[in-house]
């Protein structure tokens, strides 16, 4: 009875938080994505196999970040109002953790059921026959449920034991990246034991692409349950770890008061104010690590597929930037913009900030810091690209147009920064703007496929980084307009609205 009561309390806590919108969003995005790619195609009698092939790939892209966000939303409410210290007086850490966990598991069940439901919707709107062995849908549901549960367990631990939710989200982004990338590499044992990779390793439809006739065919294979078994082992292991940690946990003690020798000198910092505020925050870590992962995996993929990738530097570039630019850059910018605002949205800090600053100074300071780290990350990406190319001995000289792509891409990335700065200013929350960035990346992809790349900042960026697929002048004009628009909106919003504090 206690459990039920706790659970009801938990659902009350999440009133007005609209948590279930996250799975709904994911499922809608998936329908949208598949519809965008396949509508109007005929001759797909085995269309359902196509869905079983595409869903796991999209899942490994969407779900890790979505689940990380979800776990953060579950635990962040306790941290925001410093509620844990009072919760611990009438409940045990185990009860608090597992009530949230049950809430999450139920949400995961809902997510997977909605996904299975969306299967039929997709079949209907794409005119695929809906008659297929139900056995496969059940296998799909079970394997995906176990994978989601594993990821949820990981992210719940991170979200619960680390107050700073950026840690959790960063792991989600990295996981999503590795899961997606390893899907395109020859299968290794590493991929099979990686929870993020198991969306794709447990799929049972393989693609067969005939290079001569350019015909794609899907083949059913025997489902592999090995990754699912590994995932169950992960869950057991992580649960033991969690129980151990919960036993030793207590309300986060105020940092041990180290008595430092009194220093009579006051030495001021040189770094810009917004950078100083981010001291000790891991927000920038993803900007450095994700390009490295992208470079390593991209290079391996390039050397493994030399027979198809015959364009030398161009091919290598596309391997390096494909996923990084299409999805991860916007999410990383979203995370960074969220972190840079979070410090000032907290407590009564907005009072201080607004008493002493013009709205324009505040916005520009934060905007420039975001642009700076983003540009740095793009330069880092280019450096890694050149190094990898030299290591694997790519023939021919470096493409000279590259400077053009990268410059346009950088300007376009500043437009994304402006948009995210605005979003995180208005939505005083870390998670929702990241979800928006994610959806934005997706919308950008759709705009590119519909040949209207100048419609969103994301698509301008994608197009530019994808071998300069966009015109230089229109891209710059479009980015300039976006930058001006969102910075103006931010400044107007900040100067017109009342100061909001958490008091």
Partner 1 sequence: MKEYVVQTYAISKKSGRKYRIKDVNLNVPRGVVYGFLGPNGAGKTTTMKILLGLIKADTGVAEILGKKMNPANRFRINQNTGSLIESPGFYPHLTAQENLEIIARYKKLGEKDIKEVLKIVQLFDRKDDKVKSYSLGMKQRLGIAMALMGKPEILILDEPTNGLDPAGIQEIRNLIRSIPEKFGSTVIISSHLLSEVEQMADYVGIINKGELIFEGPLSELETGNDSLEAVFLEMTKGA
How many degrees, rounded to 5, is the angle at CA 95 between CA 92 and CA 96?
90
Q: Where are the beta strands (DSSP E) in 136-214?
A: 205-210
Gap between the Cα atoms of 297 and 439, Å rounded: 24
Q: Give the one residue of 352, 379, 403, 477 binding partner 1; rule: CB under 8 A.
A: 352
Q: Choose the stretch contacting partner 1; rule: CB under 8 A; options: 218-226, 274-282, 287-295, 446-454.
A: 274-282
Give the nearer residue to partner 1 in terms of CB position, either 282 or 312.
282
Give the nearer residue to partner 1 in terms of CB position, either 344 or 462.
344
- Which H/E stretch holds residue 421? helix 402-426
Gap between the Cα atoms of 483 and 364, Å rounded: 11
The verdict on 266 binding partner 1 (CB under 8 A) reads: yes
Give the nearer residue to partner 1 in terms of CB position, either 164 or 191.
164
The single residue listed with the structure tokens 């395109």 is: 184
Q: Give the one residue of 15, 214, 256, 393 binding partner 1; rule: CB under 8 A.
A: 256
Gap between the Cα atoms of 280 and 180, Å rounded: 29
CA distances to 253, 290, 291 from 323, in Å: 41, 10, 10
The verdict on 16 binding partner 1 (CB under 8 A) reads: no
CB within 8 Å of 148: residues ≥ 6 apart:
63, 67, 108, 111, 112
b/e sequence 441-452, b meaning 16+ C-beta within 10 Å: bbbbbbbbeeee
Binding mask 468-497 for partner 1 (x = CB under 8 A): ---------------------------xx-
DSSP state of 295: H
Give the nearer residue to partner 1 in terms of CB position, either 470 or 487.
487
The verdict on 268 binding partner 1 (CB under 8 A) reads: yes
Q: Choose the stretch contacting partner 1; rule: CB under 8 A; options: 145-153, 236-244, 253-261, 476-484.
A: 253-261
- CB of residue 169 vs partner 1: minimum separation in angstroms? 17
- CB of residue 354 vs partner 1: minimum separation in angstroms? 6
The verdict on 345 binding partner 1 (CB under 8 A) reads: no
Tell me how many residues contact partner 1 (CB under 8 A): 38
SS3 192: helix
Q: Give the one residue of 263, 307, 310, 400 binding partner 1; rule: CB under 8 A.
A: 263
Gap between the Cα atoms of 416 and 67, Å rounded: 24
Q: Give the one residue of 12, 15, 254, 393 binding partner 1; rule: CB under 8 A.
A: 254
The verdict on 359 binding partner 1 (CB under 8 A) reads: yes
Which residues of this chain interact with partner 1, rule CB under 8 A? 254-258, 260, 262-263, 266-269, 273, 276-277, 279-281, 343, 347-352, 354-359, 361, 495-496, 498-499, 501, 503
């Amino acid at each position: 009875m206690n459990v039920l009561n706790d659970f009801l309390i938990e659902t009350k806590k999440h009133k007005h938080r609209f948590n279930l919108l996250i799975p709904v969003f994911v499922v809608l995005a998936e329908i949208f994505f598949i519809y965008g790619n396949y509508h109007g195609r005929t001759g797909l009698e085995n269309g359902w196999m196509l869905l079983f092939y595409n869903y796991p790939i999209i899942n490994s892209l969407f779900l890790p970040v979505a689940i990380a966000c979800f776990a953060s939303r579950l635990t962040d409410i306790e941290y925001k109002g410093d509620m844990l210290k009072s919760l611990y007086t009438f409940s045990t850490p185990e009860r608090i953790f597992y009530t949230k966990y049950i809430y999450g598991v139920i949400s995961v069940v809902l997510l997977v059921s909605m996904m299975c439901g969306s299967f039929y919707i997709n079949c209907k709107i794409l005119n695929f026959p809906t008659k297929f062995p139900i056995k496969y849908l059940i296998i799909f549901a079970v394997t995906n449920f176990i994978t989601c549960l594993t990821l949820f367990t990981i992210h719940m631990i991170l979200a619960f034991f680390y107050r700073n939710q950026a840690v959790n989200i960063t792991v989600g982004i990295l996981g999503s990246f590795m899961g997606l990338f390893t899907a395109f590499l020859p299968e290794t044992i590493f991929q099979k034991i990686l929870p993020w990779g198991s969306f794709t390793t447990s799929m049972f439809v393989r693609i067969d692409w005939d290079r001569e006739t350019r015909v794609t065919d899907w083949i059913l294979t025997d489902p592999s349950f090995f990754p699912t078994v590994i995932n169950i082992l992960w869950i057991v292991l992580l649960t033991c770890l969690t129980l151990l940690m919960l036993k030793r946990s207590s309300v986060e003690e105020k940092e041990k008061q180290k008595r430092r020798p009194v220093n009579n000198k006051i030495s001021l910092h040189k770094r810009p104010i917004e950078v100083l505020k981010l001291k000790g925050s891991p927000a920038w870590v993803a900007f450095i690590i994700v390009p490295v992962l992208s470079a390593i995996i991209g290079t391996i993929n390039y050397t493994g597929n030399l027979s198809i990738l015959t364009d030398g530097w161009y091919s290598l570039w596309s391997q390096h930037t494909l996923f990084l630019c299409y999805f991860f850059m916007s999410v990383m910018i979203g995370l960074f913009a969220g972190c840079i605002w979070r410090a000032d949205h907290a407590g009564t800090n907005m009072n201080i900030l607004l008493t002493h600053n013009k709205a324009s100074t505040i916005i520009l300071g934060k905007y420039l810091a975001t642009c700076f780290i983003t540009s740095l990350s793009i330069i880092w990406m280019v450096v890694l690209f050149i190094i990898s190319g030299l290591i694997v001995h790519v023939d021919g000289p470096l493409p000279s147009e590259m400077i053009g792509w990268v410059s346009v891409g950088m300007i376009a990335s500043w437009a994304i920064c402006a948009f995210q700065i605005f979003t995180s200013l208005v939505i005083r929350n870390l998670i929702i703007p990241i979800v928006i960035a994610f959806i934005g990346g997706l919308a950008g992809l759709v705009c590119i496929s519909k040949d209207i790349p100048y419609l969103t900042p994301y698509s301008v960026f994608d197009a530019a980084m994808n071998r300069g697929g966009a015109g230089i002048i229109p891209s710059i004009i479009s980015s300039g307009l976006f930058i001006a628009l969102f910075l103006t909106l931010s400044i107007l919003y900040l100067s017109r609205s009342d100061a909001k504090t958490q008091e």
